[in-house]
Amino acid sequence: MAILNAATLQAFINKKGIDAKILFLDVDTPTVQAAAEALAVTPEQIIKSVLFLADGKPVMVVASGLDRLDRKALADFLGVSRRRVKIASAEQVLAHTGYVAGSVPPFGYPEPIETVVETAATQLSGIVYGGGGEIHALVQLTVAELQRVVGAHVASLTELTQP
């Protein structure tokens, strides 16, 4: 399989009429903190796309960059045992999405992947930034456009933090 990149993502955006823009940066942005610093925005404005395998089936979770995802909550949402939900390895991310881990956009894969948007991400306002298909690129769009493109599956999937 060919590795996809920002040009592939841009072609998908154009084909689907998505109101999004790819930003190319002078630095790599493999983490939420690196992306926020590169854009001079708060980490809350960065979304992450995390691939899980549930009973071997890929499921993408789009979440606010600072949130820690709870596998049990995802398993409950999907109706499977927690032991059947695993975070995908870098090799599995590449195999299912076509993108290198750390650059995965929230959409634009060779085959459709069930996507769940974490509740906190839906409550962000204004512009958010996610993986742009390359380690030095980010996609910029609104939360409303994100939800329109990836579908209406929304669930509370973050770990509860102790005070």
Per residue in 30-74, pLDDT (tens digit) is 788 888 999 999 888 999 999 999 999 999 999 988 888 889 999
Mean pLDDT of all residues in the chain?
90
Listed in sequence order, the DSSP H helices in the chain are: 6-16, 32-39, 71-78, 90-97, 119-122, 143-150
Prediction pTM value: 0.91
Cα torsion for 150, 156, 161, 163, to the nearest 10°?
120
* Domain 6-155 -> CATH class: alpha beta
Percent of the chain scoring above 90 in pLDDT: 71
Cα–Cα distance, 83 to 75 (Å, whole number): 8
Cα–Cα distance, 36 to 153 (Å, whole number): 26
Residue 35, both tokens: 């992306």
CA-wise closest residue to 140 among 153, 154, 124 = 124
pLDDT tens digits, 72-87: 999 999 999 999 999 9
